[in-house]
Amino acid sequence: MRRRDEQIDDEDEDDEQAPPRRRWWRWILYPALLAFGLLLGVGIPYVWVLDGQVRERFGQLQWQVPTKVYAQPLHLVPGQRMDAKTLQLELDAAQYRSDGAGSSPGSYARSGDRFTIASRGFNDVATVQPPSQVVVQLADGTVSSLRSPDGAALPTATFDPAPIAALYGSTQEERELVHGPDVPPLLVAGLQAVEDRNFKTHHGVDVLGILRAVAVDVREGGARQGGSTLTQQLVRNLFLSNERSLKRKVNEALYAIIIESRFDKQTILEAYLNEVYLGQLGNQSIHGVAAGAKFWFGRPLGSLPKQDIALMIGLIKGPSYYDPRRSPDRALQRRAVVLDAFVETGLMTADEADALKKSPLDVIPKPGIVTNRYPAFVDLVRRQLQSDYPADSIKGAGMTIHTTLDPAAQIDAEAALAETLDKIQRKKGPDLEGGLVVTDVHDGNVLAVVGSRDATALGFNRALDAQRPVGSLLKPFIYLLALAQPDKYSLATPIDDSAVSVALGNGRTWSPENDDHREHGMVRIIDALAQSYNHVAVRVGMDVQVERLTKLLKALAGIDVPANPSVLLGATDQTPYTMAQLYQFLASGGQVQPLHAVRGVLDAKGALVKRYDHPAAAAQAGDALAARLATIAMQQVAISGTAGSLQRDGLGFLDAAGKTGTSNDSRDSWFAGFTGSHLAVVWVGNDQNLETGLFGATGALRVWAGLFRRLPSTPLTVSDAGLEWAWVSPEAYASVDAGCPGVRRFAFVKGFAPPLQPTCDAGTNPGDASGWIREPSADPVDPDTGAPLPPGSVPPAAEGSTAPGGPPSPAQAPPASPSPASEQEPPP
């Protein structure tokens, strides 16, 4: 018997001699174990990193929503000045659609002068305006009536404001955030029917959906459906690039699974609806269904009809490829595919889908998204908000800024400036430019700002920044100070218009001339202003004191200018906006009304942050009386004075008050004028400070007339409160009977009319009542204060001055902008 160990040795020998066994399982098991180890060692940490990114970026997801800037709402009341053209402009600016019925929010129907308007409703500064339907009847240039659809008379109607700008943050993304209740149910269900039918049940990646998409693509012979879930699409937009690679697909799936494991379906769907890409406008990308609804259809999301919902869902696949503006046939085909999906999932019947397929594309011609339609006005808005908000704090903050802009006034002002400058541009003359500001005389609202001949141009805003010599625009304020002394001055006061000289000291004098180089004898104040006579303005100005004038300019408009006598004739450089602020005092009837372009600011949730449209204090009695008298005199400017062409232009019915202004060598042309509802200040000149050949009446006044031929405005009526009227003799400062030959009727502060003479023969010396104003003081005056100087004194500012024909004003006007020695106006 052999031993066990010998047997074993024999077996070992047999093994050594036998061929080796194939241990194939080792080649599978070992790599699998290695891969599993790598997965545990690398994959889990990688997924942990992705999970951290999801928690940080998706869990605290915040979009930059542009701050929207809006014009003022359109308010209508019966009797208000309004014509069909202007109302149409307002509706177009607010992106209303003409649908023949005016029944859905944001639509209107027009039949001649009858408009049926369905407003959208909006959050105003102080109130919430609900949607409404109003029938507006116009007649004879006014609102004849306002009625509800059932025929009931309405006292007023308010329509949602036009969007005028969007202030973006670091990204140029147009977006309006929506929440679940804001989204039409058909959009939610239809989106899932087309893009992700298993959205409610899958966990981020839908294998069945992928297989179904492949089957459809094979059956239809093309890429008809995608296999990505809504969650995967959201991941692609938020976390990944558009790179086509295996790595991206793996990351996309991992991100989707992580998001689905951490967040509920409603949160994911809401994020998708706010993030989905739906179009492009230049550098602006359109994100979210709310912005998409306005971009393509000009409607709020909640008012989209079924066919528009179908089209918007279809655009998700490729907004550029299926662009309904550029490729309407493709868009119609894509909409049909979506409607078929609605039928397949039971969202509508086949008959309804067939009917909707026949409807035309309801896309607005131009994108319903606004970046900066009126750059000069938005520039003013930014400046007025600077004191409350740092420069970048309102960009991309989702705030709402309600402004005072009147779209029709802005559009009319832009057209008036551009068209008038085209007409008066000389072929060999310098390129004309202009600036224009329009305000509401009742509250200081800035209604329009035009900063350039090309109103869309960005850059130098001449309405706010072009400081130019104002010429005779200051003369009404000289007479305002004088008329505030009713015991000494009235509109009928005769003043000597002979040559005048103001002693400046050191043997120097200032001797301004009238434009026509003539003297006109004794002239009543109202006529001196109408004809813009310099001699009278200087005499009265020196009497009321230059220092008082400069203090008035400072108080009314912040104009800080030395009390140099030449300021009486406009030797100060100011902007159109500053002059509008100055004239607002007269246009408002003596109120100090700070101009403002912002009504209020709302935060991202629609709550009021700050209101800016506070009412101004009532005018003081003395200011109101003097302003009324000055306004009556300025009406004479537009009747028989330097602005008399307004009568020939057919604008006499406005009874406007105004004043022309021209600087030396006709470099600058000005007109400031107001009606019963609007003030407009216009400057025309050129950026090189060259001679234009234009007077105030041939340049700026023509722009003003062009504006008010377009803009419905209320005629100016001056209140008689505190005034009395009397007939004044042509030969003397005396009241006479109305039947006397040559008499004129003048307004006086009550109790200060000249005594009534019993006969028409009131005397022959018209200067008897005011001989004290024939000559200014012969003593030298300080050009900084207008006060008399001791004999032999030399005013410091006069030393070394080389300004010809006028007092020195080196701080007021650089060599490129000389101070005028006289007002220049063409013959009336």
Is 799 a known active-site residue?
no
748 near 726, Cβ under 8 Å? Answer: yes
Quote the tokens at residue 263.
Answer: 């967040």
Polymer length in residues for the chain = 828
97-98: strand order across its sheet: 97-98, 107-111, 114-118, 133-139, 142-147
Which conformational region is residue 590 in: left (phi greater than 0), alpha (psi within -120 to 50 degrees), or beta? left
Distance CA 661, CA 537 (A): 14
Is 777 a known active-site residue?
no
Q: Which residue in the list 90, 174, 176, 195 is annotated as catalytic?
A: 195
Distance CA 494, CA 480 (A): 16
Q: Which residue in the list 472, 669, 713, 735 is annotated as catalytic?
A: 472
Give SS3 for 38: helix
Give SS3 for 402: strand
DSSP string over 228-292: --HHHHHHHHHT--S--SHHHHHHHHHHHHHHHHHS-HHHHHHHHHHH-EEEEETTEEEESHHHH
682 near 670, Cβ under 8 Å? Answer: yes
- Within 10 angstroms of residue 547's Cβ, the number of other Cβ atoms is 15
Burial class of residue 791, CB neighbours in 10 A (0-12, 13-18, 19+) = exposed
Cα separation of the two ends of the chain? 151
Quote the tokens at residue 85.
Answer: 């053209």
Give SS3 for 570: coil
Distance CA 796, CA 811 (A): 13
The structure tokens 């800016």 sit at: 612
Distance CA 618, CA 442 (A): 11
Please work out, in degrees rounded to the nearest 5, the angle formed at the alpha carbon of residue 634 by the alpha carbons of 748 and 828. 125
Active site residues: 195, 472
